[in-house]
Amino acid sequence: MRDNRNDRTIERNYTQKWRFLISEYLLVKAKRHPKFRFLQDFYAFHGVNRQTFAKYYNRYLASGGDPSALLPAKRGPRWRTRRTLPFIEQLVLAHRRKGNNRYEIFAILKPTLGENTPKPTTIYAICERHGLNRLTPPMQQSKRRIIKTRAGELGHLDCHYLGKDQIVGSARRRYIVCVLDSCTRLAWAEVVDDLRSLSVMFAALKGINALNAEYGVRFEALLTDNGPEVASRANAAGHPMERLLVELGIKHRYTRPYRPQTNGKVERFWRTLNEDVLEGTTFETAEELKEELGLYLLYYNTERPHQGLGGRTPLQALQDLSTN
């Protein structure tokens, strides 16, 4: 594909046009033009506004005949336009340097700025203007860094869709609800028949209790997405999951909109589970699926080395914490 970034054809054509008009104008002024006797005939024939021509002509004379003076000049922002205020631009740039995308920045600023929040397209234009429209390696690293040093300091909760053909002869779609510890990667998952908030709440409760009973993990906070099955900020008292976490004394944290990477550790668990168990496998019954999942969780927690833990298993990571 041809690279047109250094093509100056449009600029050259523009300056040639105005230099020709100026030469024609001077001939009319000197009464030597073969066609036009009056300037209004000259303006009408070329379709040029008198004030516009005078602006370019005077600019050309003031520059001493510099052709670049004939190019359109870029003016500053007009008075009382919707140009983003400088302090808002600085807020946008500060959040961008942390690795947030335009939609995340919009969601972060909206509660504070309200109607003055720039739209995602405006946020992108601001980032592009300052050379931040592409993430640099330090920005990517800052975004990925979610490090926890204590078991139970933060848990991840998510729901996974199973294929309709995962169980032979069953057209019903089933789901898996997983609770995973951020520090040790210890995980527990339950198969559910639907994604109603009550079903997900009971599955999450089983996972929380199982990790506490088997490994002594007590969660301080739980991170979920903003789906209706796990979250309701507007009606926290009436939502099963919100109510459960309040009763257990666990702080509910939410992922940022349009950013599933915030819950990346449990998302990575789904990928591992698919590769090791689900992909290309069908089960005779739902009970067989649940039994296989239980056996795999035992293997995952106690025997499978984890790359994010330096080759240790989740159980070894937990034991190392207790010895330090």
Kindly report the CATH number assigned to the domain that includes residue 224.
3.30.420.10
User: Hey, how many other C-beta atoms are within 10 angstroms of the C-beta on 109?
Assistant: 18
Residue 2's pLDDT band, with cuts at 50, 70 and 90, is low
Residues 104 and 162 in one domain: no
Tokens of 56: 């370019």
Examine residue 119 and state whether it is found in any structural domain, yes or no. Answer: yes
Examine residue 78 and state whether it is found in any structural domain, yes or no. Answer: no
Domain end marker among 113, 144, 175: 144
Tokens of 180: 């995973």
Lowest mean pLDDT across 57-61, 139-143, 147-151, 282-286: 139-143
Residues 102 and 189 in one domain: no
Residues 19 and 58 in one domain: yes
Tokens of 255: 């992922």
Residues 276 and 226 in one domain: yes
State the sign of the Cα–Cα–Cα–Cα dihedral 66, 72, 74, 78.
positive
User: Rg of the chain over CA atoms, in angstroms?
Assistant: 33
The stretch 67-83 carries a mean pLDDT of 70
Examine residue 79 and state whether it is found in any structural domain, yes or no. Answer: no
Domain extent at residue 270: 155-323
Domain end marker among 30, 46, 70: 70
Examine residue 76 and state whether it is found in any structural domain, yes or no. Answer: no
Examine residue 80 and state whether it is found in any structural domain, yes or no. Answer: no
Residue 134 three-state SS:
coil
Contact between 25 and 53 under an 8 Å Cβ cutoff? The reply is: yes
Residues 273 and 210 in one domain: yes
Residues 177 and 309 in one domain: yes
Examine residue 197 and state whether it is found in any structural domain, yes or no. Answer: yes
Residue 99's pLDDT band, with cuts at 50, 70 and 90, is confident
pLDDT one-digit tens code per residue, 305-324: 988 888 899 999 999 887 76
The stretch 147-161 carries a mean pLDDT of 84
Taking the C-alpha atoms of residue 35 and residue 42, their distance in angstroms, rounded to an integer, is: 9
Residues 198 and 228 in one domain: yes
Residue 5's pLDDT band, with cuts at 50, 70 and 90, is low
Examine residue 1 and state whether it is found in any structural domain, yes or no. Answer: no
189: β partners: 178
Examine residue 81 and state whether it is found in any structural domain, yes or no. Answer: no
User: Would you put residue 194 in left (φ > 0), alpha (ψ -120 to 50) or beta?
Assistant: beta
Residues 43 and 180 in one domain: no
Angle at 161 between CA 310 and CA 246, to 5 degrees: 75
Residues 317 and 199 in one domain: yes
Contact between 211 and 181 under an 8 Å Cβ cutoff? The reply is: yes
Task: Name the H helices within 216-302.
Answer: 240-248, 264-273, 286-302
Cα separations in angstroms, 9 against 14, 16, 299: 9, 11, 67
pLDDT reported for residue 302: 93
- Alpha-carbon dihedral of residues 294, 297, 303, 308, nearest 10 degrees? 170
Contact between 227 and 197 under an 8 Å Cβ cutoff? The reply is: no
Residues 111 and 186 in one domain: no
Residues 187 and 206 in one domain: yes
Q: Is 154 exposed, middle or buried (0-12, 13-18, 19+ CB in 10 A)?
A: buried
180: β partners: 156, 187
Tokens of 297: 């969780």
Residue 292's pLDDT band, with cuts at 50, 70 and 90, is very high
pLDDT one-digit tens code per residue, 218-275: 999 999 988 888 888 778 788 999 999 999 999 998 887 666 667 788 888 999 999 9
Residues 234 and 94 in one domain: no
Tokens of 134: 């592409």
Domain end marker among 22, 42, 70: 70
Number of domains present in the structure of the chain:
3
pLDDT one-digit tens code per residue, 176-226: 999 999 989 999 999 999 999 999 999 999 999 999 999 999 999 999 988
User: Hey, how many other C-beta atoms are within 10 angstroms of the C-beta on 1?
Assistant: 3
Lowest mean pLDDT across 61-70, 133-142, 201-210, 220-229: 133-142
Contact between 159 and 141 under an 8 Å Cβ cutoff? The reply is: no
Q: Is 268 exposed, middle or buried (0-12, 13-18, 19+ CB in 10 A)?
A: middle
The stretch 113-135 carries a mean pLDDT of 88
